[in-house]
């Protein structure tokens, strides 16, 4: 059974972010605790923790008739929770790592999609805060970016030309 292009894109993003480790040239090992749409909040012992969510999708039709395609703009959030004496430092390091990972390939090329699943990725906003929780200082961070991708009109499992 085919998967929707949106799901394949989210899986590609998850795989890329799970590759964020010091051994791969990044500043942090956040890739070891990165999840896709995890519904359960982490326990403080699981921190740092990165959850990736696809928040919103805008779609417009491009072309007409048999040649029509749907162009989607998907908003994705990476939500980070950290604990420690300097959560802001960790947050800024992870922010830089996420930006670097996105910049490696803004088309989200995979084995099955050698030309890329998407065609344009841009960082849109970020913000963070911190709070004292008992003995630990907790920090939270929200990082958003959008990915544009195309599907055949009314067939979410195929790209144009497939």
pLDDT, tens only, 72-99: 999 999 999 888 777 888 889 999 999 9
| Torsion of Cα atoms, 126 then 132 then 135 then 140, to 10° | -10
Please indicate, yes or no, whether the overall pTM of this predicted structure exceeds 0.75. Answer: yes
Structural domain spans, the chain? 5-62+74-152
Does the domain formed by 5-62+74-152 have CATH 3.30.70.1700? yes
Cβ neighbours, 10 Å, residue 138: 17
Q: What is the pLDDT of residue 141?
A: 86
pLDDT confidence of 13, banded at 50, 70, 90? very high
pLDDT confidence of 129, banded at 50, 70, 90? low
Mean pLDDT score of the chain: 89
- What are 52's strand-pairing partners? 36, 78
Q: What is the pLDDT of residue 133?
A: 56
Reading the block at residue 61, the tokens are 């039709």
d(CA 17, CA 105): 12
């Amino acid at each position: 059974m085919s998967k929707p292009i949106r799901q394949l894109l989210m899986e590609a993003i998850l795989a890329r972010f799970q590759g964020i480790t010091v051994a791969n040239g990044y500043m942090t090992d956040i890739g070891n605790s990165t999840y896709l749409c995890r519904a359960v909040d982490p326990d403080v012992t699981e921190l740092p923790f990165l959850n990736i969510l696809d928040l919103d999708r805008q779609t417009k039709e491009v072309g007409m008739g048999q040649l029509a395609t749907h162009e989607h703009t998907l908003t994705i959030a990476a939500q980070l929770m950290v604990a420690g004496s300097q959560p802001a430092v960790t947050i800024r390091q992870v922010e830089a790592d996420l930006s670097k990972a996105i910049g490696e390939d803004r088309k989200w090329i995979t084995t099955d999609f050698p030309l890329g699943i998407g065609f344009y990725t841009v960082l849109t906003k970020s913000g963070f805060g911190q709070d004292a929780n008992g003995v630990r200082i907790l920090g939270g961070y929200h990082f958003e970016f959008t990915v544009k991708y195309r599907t055949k009109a009314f067939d979410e499992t195929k790209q144009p030309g497939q």
